[in-house]
Structure 1
Amino acid sequence: MKIHKEGRRILFFTILALLAVNLLLFQLNARNVTFNRIFAAISAVAFLLLLQFFRSPYRNLLTHEDLLIAPADGKVVVIEDVHEPEYFDDVRKQISIFMSPINVHITRNPISGIVRYFKYHPGNYLVAWHPKSSTKNERTTVVVESDAGPLVLFRQIAGAMARRIVWYVNEGDEVNQGEEFGFIKFGSRVDVFVPMDTDIKVQLGDKVKGGETVIAQLKTTSPSLF
């Protein structure tokens, strides 16, 4: 496992700040050894929690043109038919994955293809499981014309703790299934919108792994693994 590039600078300055504060406490409050040790232990735990947030574990990526792979680690919190107003303006199946602060926060392309649409939306920071977070929060929208044919829309959504969304794709890019398309810092959600005839392979409450878990199968004439 390695540390993701989005966390290296944050971790560097965090450890410098914690070391400086602890050294200052040991100098100014040398007699209160117990307090200094407790504060040092809390600092170490806080740094380790931040370190695990930015972890980038190895993944055995699954690729197949008609299979939709989980774009992120987390828990499936929404599977429903909804009207998607931004790009399709019609009814689609929505699959939403909630990423808690302890999940890996790398977001991955759920399908291979060409990016036909991309847009960044500034917005609010409602809790990520709030029904309106998909349209009110800070977010990005990506639409990929899959190698299997159908268009797939996926959306990074900032949560109450997430204050920065990072993306690595633009319109016209060719993307590969399982590769990183972004990162969301400190709690968030990813929504995926697929055609109505898509076969959903997960259920509410399922825990999924980005790049590995099959969440749906697109309707196509290509041979299937399932």
Structure 2
Amino acid sequence: MDILATIRATLTPVHREGYRFVAIFAAITLILFLFVSDTLGWIGVVLTLWCAYFFRNPDRVTPLREGLVISPADGRISAIQSVVPPPELGFSHEPRIRISVFMNVFDVHVNRAPVAGRITRMTYIPGKFINAELDKASEDNERQAFAILMADGEELGVVQIAGLVARRIVPFVRPETQVFVGERIGLIRFGSRVDVFLPVGKTPLVSIGQRAIAGETVFADLRSVEPERIARLG
């Protein structure tokens, strides 16, 4: 495979939300080449390619069996905790397992529905832009919360959290719409985190430090009675 083919395979398709950003980076790069210096121009080329890479929107192969909870985000699982869900989800105060996925600026930032169901609640909360890996980001940062009602009556929560660099959360869906598992539901620009709140009493099949792939990695099996998994780094 030649270099151009490799670049095309890596950078495409680019999500439409990224078109204007790529165009802005490309325009600045052209100005640098024409009126400043070739050195800065080549730096602009690298940054333009990174911008296209950031907004890439690859297809994924999503498991479809009922009961599976699939990762909504690419990134590293930074925390798994039993916590009371945030009030914006509209759930009870009974603790649930929260799985947090931290996305750095090199991860795909298009987020996907972890289960199929109806979006019963969507709440946008303005806030700060502290490091998304910190636990207090769940309460302090700008975020978008989704409550999804599944066919069996169980509810699952997804919260997109803006990070230190991120400055906008873009939802692709609306309240009361039906989503399919793996369907694209939103995007966070430039580094962030996504939390998944499992139904009460359910345990994860992933571990802290594990890499997750949106639309593919199985977070939990709601039909299984398997205990929480223990993992080792090595």
TM-score (norm 1): 0.89
Deviates more, 1:194-203 or 1:152-161: 194-203
Structure 1 residue 17: deviation in Å?
A: 2.0
Q: Aligned pairs, how many? A: 211
Structural mapping, 1:33-52, within 5 Å: 36-52=37-53
Determine helix, strand or coil for the equivalent of 1:55.
Answer: coil
Counterpart of 1:60 in structure 2: which amino acid? Answer: V
Counterpart of 1:57 in structure 2: which amino acid? Answer: P
Structural mapping, 1:148-163, within 5 Å: 148-163=152-167
Structure 1 residue 13: deviation in Å?
A: 2.1
Measured in 1, the distance between the counterparts of 2:60 and 2:66 equals 18
Say if 1:148 and 1:220, in contact at 8 Å, map to a contact too. Answer: no
Residue in structure 2 matched with residue 217 of structure 1 by the alignment: 221
Structure 1 residue 84: deviation in Å?
A: 1.4
Structure 1 residue 220: deviation in Å?
A: 7.5
Q: 1:164-220, CA deviations, whole angstroms, 9 ceiling, x for partnerless residues? A: 000022221111110100000000000011123213110000001000110111148
Determine helix, strand or coil for the equivalent of 1:126.
Answer: coil
Residue in structure 2 matched with residue 2 of structure 1 by the alignment: 13
Residue in structure 2 matched with residue 32 of structure 1 by the alignment: none
Measured in 2, the distance between the counterparts of 1:46 and 1:37 equals 14
Determine helix, strand or coil for the equivalent of 1:196.
Answer: coil
Residue in structure 2 matched with residue 69 of structure 1 by the alignment: 70
- Structure number having the greater strand percentage: 1
The structure having more radius of gyration, on CA atoms, is 1
Structural mapping, 1:25-174, within 5 Å: 25=36, 36-86=37-87, 87-88=90-91, 89-174=93-178
Say if 1:66 and 1:148, in contact at 8 Å, map to a contact too. Answer: no
Measured in 2, the distance between the counterparts of 1:43 and 1:170 equals 37
Deviation beyond 6 Å, 4+ runs, structure 1:
none
Structure 1 residue 162: deviation in Å?
A: 0.2
Structure 1 residue 123: deviation in Å?
A: 0.5
Counterpart of 1:18 in structure 2: which amino acid? Answer: T
Measured in 2, the distance between the counterparts of 1:95 and 1:62 equals 19
Deviates more, 1:37-46 or 1:177-186: 37-46
Measured in 2, the distance between the counterparts of 1:91 and 1:209 equals 26
Counterpart of 1:23 in structure 2: which amino acid? Answer: L
Counterpart of 1:106 in structure 2: which amino acid? Answer: V
Say if 2:28 and 2:44, in contact at 8 Å, map to a contact too. Answer: no
What is the RMSD of the two structures over their aligned residues, measured on CA atoms? 1.5
TM-score (norm 2): 0.86
Structure 1 residue 21: deviation in Å?
A: 2.7
Measured in 2, the distance between the counterparts of 1:85 and 1:24 equals 51
Measured in 2, the distance between the counterparts of 1:147 and 1:68 equals 13
In structure 2, relative to structure 1, the CA distance for the partners of 1:214 and 1:44 (3 Å cut) is same
Say if 2:76 and 2:101, in contact at 8 Å, map to a contact too. Answer: yes
Identity %: 36
In structure 2, relative to structure 1, the CA distance for the partners of 1:17 and 1:85 (3 Å cut) is closer
Q: Does 1:175 align with 2:186?
A: no
Residue in structure 1 matched with residue 3 of structure 2 by the alignment: none
Residue in structure 2 matched with residue 196 of structure 1 by the alignment: 200
Residue in structure 1 matched with residue 4 of structure 2 by the alignment: none
Measured in 1, the distance between the counterparts of 2:15 and 2:224 equals 35
Measured in 2, the distance between the counterparts of 1:13 and 1:37 equals 18
Deviates more, 1:141-150 or 1:90-99: 141-150
